[in-house]
């Protein structure tokens, strides 16, 4: 006997992984809200818990499994969605009976009906995974005519001009920072990465649609936009203008209420001089370079199906710092990639010492299903990978700590993120949300009254100390006060 869902159905959306997933969750939240669901992020008391999973690397996948199991312990119906669910489909459903349904991206447009079905106790046949790159035309400029579900790209009414369309997004928090998805998918073929197979080929969003969403976000209290995608440097290539990001940045920075725009996920091989200049010199755009280096040895990069070298990457960083000496730079690196020799590893160490990055993520290589690297010979032993990982992690902590200390005595612009227990946390231009450290604002002899600060305020502050990569600073001038809530 089927059960009619309560008119007050409650769903909790739990988001794991990257900022792109956060945007996808907010699209799902908007769809569910429109279908009459009460949407939140607290699993306790929810009728259904949807876990937007991450399928990037083994550690992220295990975190997704643990979250799904914990959700099942609440007594709610549990649904797996997101990248891991899309990537494994039936396999995940069979190995995780605690999940009442495993949904792929194609289910997103009817998410309300899917959850109604789950709540009634009906079974859901999980999809058989497929390479989503094959769903779109090979030629980038033809992709916008294809009717393919791309999370975060939903159009309510394609016949209405982009700037007049309803924004299909419902914020799940009220902080002063929000991600804005530029594009989805990736056309690169990095040997270690499975993401393109389940996220699909690269597709840009319409710039007018992005500007409209930015204006909507600003009206909800957002002060900083973080531009996200799998590869932001490709933005516009499928719209006929590979320089479109350079043109879009000043337009986003000019949106009323937005005080900072931050670009992320830049591919070094596609980072053109014009884009470097736009990021480094455009007022309202953070002089911040999130560059996906992954390694610096030219021979390792070639095996990774990537381009570059220590010298080319150092030249790229130098070009940015010539325009903005205080610019922030971060990157991620893989140690122990198949065939990595001691000399190639030492080349990476040399690069890190000379590059002086502000924030660095280190990953120890592990095989990923369906990737070219998983089938490569010359695997580095686990003991050697661990030894290299431990050594480079210690080096990274030292370098990043030194970079923070070099900012003592300088002036930085800090966006206040949160205030709790009389502690005021914010971020300078070189600090992206959650990954690059933060700045604690403390009272000084003169300048801004810290007791009057609110989330969303942008202040100029003098750096007085550090704690690892984190800064301690005294606000000396209010640049832009957050609007008073109505």
pLDDT in tens, 409-424: 999 999 999 998 889 9
Lowest mean pLDDT among 90-99, 126-135, 203-212, 440-449: 440-449
pLDDT band, very low/low/confident/very high, at 305 (cuts 50, 70, 90): very high
CATH superfamily of domain region 410-480: Nucleic acid-binding proteins (2.40.50.140)
The answer to whether 400 is a known ligand-binding residue is no
pLDDT band, very low/low/confident/very high, at 6 (cuts 50, 70, 90): low
Per residue, the 3-state secondary structure of the chain, as one string, reads: CCCCCCCCCEEEEEECCCHHHHHHHHHHHHHHHHCCCEEECCCCCCCEEEEEECCCCHHHHHHHHHHHHHHHCCCCEEEEEHHHHHHHCHHHHHHCCCCCEECCHHHHHHHHHHHHHHHCCCCCCCCCCCCHHHHCCCCHHHHHHCCCCCCCCCCCCCCCCHHHCCCCCCCCCCCCEEEEECEECCCCCCCCCCHHHHHCCCEECCHHHHHHHHHHHHHCCCCEEEEECCCHHHCCHHHCCCCHHHHHHHHHHCCCCCCEEEECCECHHHCCHHHHHHHHHCCCECCEEEECCECCCHHHHHHCCCCCCHHHHHHHHHHHHHHCCCCEEEEEEEECCCCCCHHHHHHHHHHHHHHCCCEEEEEECCCCCCCCHHHCCCCCCHHHHHHHHHHHHHHHHHHHHHHHHCCCCCEEEEEEEEEECCEEEEECCCCCCCCCCCEEECCCCCCCCHHHCCCCCEEEEEEEEEECCEEEEEEEEEEECCCCCC
- pLDDT at res. 2: 42
pLDDT over 70 (residue 17): yes
Q: Where in the chain are all domains bearing CATH 2.40.50.140?
A: 410-480
pLDDT over 70 (residue 352): yes
pLDDT over 50 (residue 5): no
Tens-place pLDDT, residues 63-80:
899 999 999 999 999 999
Q: Where in the chain are all domains bearing CATH 3.40.50.12160?
A: 10-127
pLDDT over 80 (residue 152): no
pLDDT band, very low/low/confident/very high, at 153 (cuts 50, 70, 90): confident
Average pLDDT over residues 201-225: 95
In this structure, the number of other CB atoms found within 10 A of the CB of residue 481 comes to 14
The percentage of the chain sitting over the pLDDT mark of 70, rounded to a whole number, equals 97
The percentage of the chain sitting over the pLDDT mark of 90, rounded to a whole number, equals 84
Greater confidence, 227 or 447?
A: 227
Between the CA of residue 123 and those of 19, 32, 84, 414, 477, what are the distances in Å? Answer: 31, 20, 20, 50, 59
- pLDDT at res. 3: 44
Greater confidence, 147 or 350?
A: 350
Q: Where in the chain are all domains bearing CATH 3.80.30.20?
A: 135-406
pLDDT band, very low/low/confident/very high, at 158 (cuts 50, 70, 90): low
* Topology (CATH level 3) of domain 135-406: pyruvate-formate lyase- activating enzyme (3.80.30)
pLDDT band, very low/low/confident/very high, at 486 (cuts 50, 70, 90): low
Average pLDDT over residues 212-238: 96
pLDDT over 90 (residue 166): no
Average pLDDT over residues 125-149: 87
Greater confidence, 251 or 486?
A: 251
pLDDT band, very low/low/confident/very high, at 434 (cuts 50, 70, 90): confident
CATH number of 10-127: 3.40.50.12160
Average pLDDT over residues 360-378: 94
The answer to whether 186 is a known ligand-binding residue is yes
Average pLDDT over residues 300-323: 98
């Amino acid at each position: 006997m089927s059960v009619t869902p309560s008119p007050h159905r409650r769903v909790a959306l739990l988001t794991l992984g990257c900022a792109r997933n956060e945007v996808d969750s907010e699209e799902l939240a908007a769809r569910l809200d429109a279908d009459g669901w009460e949407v939140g992020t607290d699993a306790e008391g929810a009728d259904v818990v949807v876990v937007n999973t991450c399928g990037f690397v083994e550690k992220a996948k295990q975190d997704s499994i643990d979250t799904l199991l914990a959700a099942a312990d609440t007594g709610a119906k549990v649904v797996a969605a997101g990248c891991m669910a899309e990537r494994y489909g039936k396999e995940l459903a069979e190995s995780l009976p605690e999940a009442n349904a495993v949904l792929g991206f194609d289910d997103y447009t009817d998410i309300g009906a899917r959850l109604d079905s789950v709540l009634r106790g009906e079974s859901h046949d999980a999809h058989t995974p497929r390479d989503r790159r094959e769903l779109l035309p090979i030629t980038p400029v033809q992709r916008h005519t294809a009717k393919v579900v791309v999370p975060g790209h939903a159009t309510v009414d394609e016949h209405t001009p982009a700037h007049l369309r309803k924004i299909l997004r419902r914020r799940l928090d009220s902080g002063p920072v929000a991600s804005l998805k530029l594009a989805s998918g990736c056309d690169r073929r990095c040997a270690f990465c499975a993401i393109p197979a389940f996220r699909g080929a690269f597709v840009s969003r319409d710039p007018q649609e992005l500007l409209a969403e930015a204006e909507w976000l600003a009206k909800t209290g957002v002060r900083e936009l973080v531009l996200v995608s799998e590869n932001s440097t490709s933005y516009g290539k499928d719209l006929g203008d590979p320089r479109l990001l350079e043109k879009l940045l000043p337009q986003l920075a000019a949106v009323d209420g937005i005080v900072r725009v931050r670009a992320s996920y830049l591919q070094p091989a596609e980072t053109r001089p014009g884009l470097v200049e736009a990021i480094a010199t455009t007022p309202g755009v953070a002089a911040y370079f999130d560059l996906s280096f992954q390694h610096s040895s030219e021979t390792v990069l070639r095996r990774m199906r990537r381009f570059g070298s220590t010298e080319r990457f150092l030249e790229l960083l130098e070009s940015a710092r010539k325009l903005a000496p205080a610019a922030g730079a971060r990157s991620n690196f893989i140690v122990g990639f198949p065939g990595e020799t001691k000399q190639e590893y030492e080349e990476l160490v040399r690069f890190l010492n000379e590059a002086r990055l502000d924030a660095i993520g280190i990953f120890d290589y592990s095989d990923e299903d369906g990737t070219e690297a998983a089938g490569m010979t010359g695997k580095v032993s686990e003991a050697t990978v661990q030894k290299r990982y431990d050594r480079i992690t210690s080096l990274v902590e030292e370098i990043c700590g030194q970079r923070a200390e070099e900012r003592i005595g300088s002036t930085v612009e800090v966006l206040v993120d949160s205030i709790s227990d009389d502690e005021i946390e914010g971020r300078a231009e070189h600090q992206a949300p959650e990954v690059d450290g933060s700045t604690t604002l403390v009272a000084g002899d003169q300048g801004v009254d810290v007791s009057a600060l609110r989330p969303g305020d942008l202040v100029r502050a003098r750096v007085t100390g550090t704690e690892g990569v984190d800064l301690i600073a005294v606000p000396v001038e209010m640049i832009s006060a957050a609007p008073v809530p109505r």
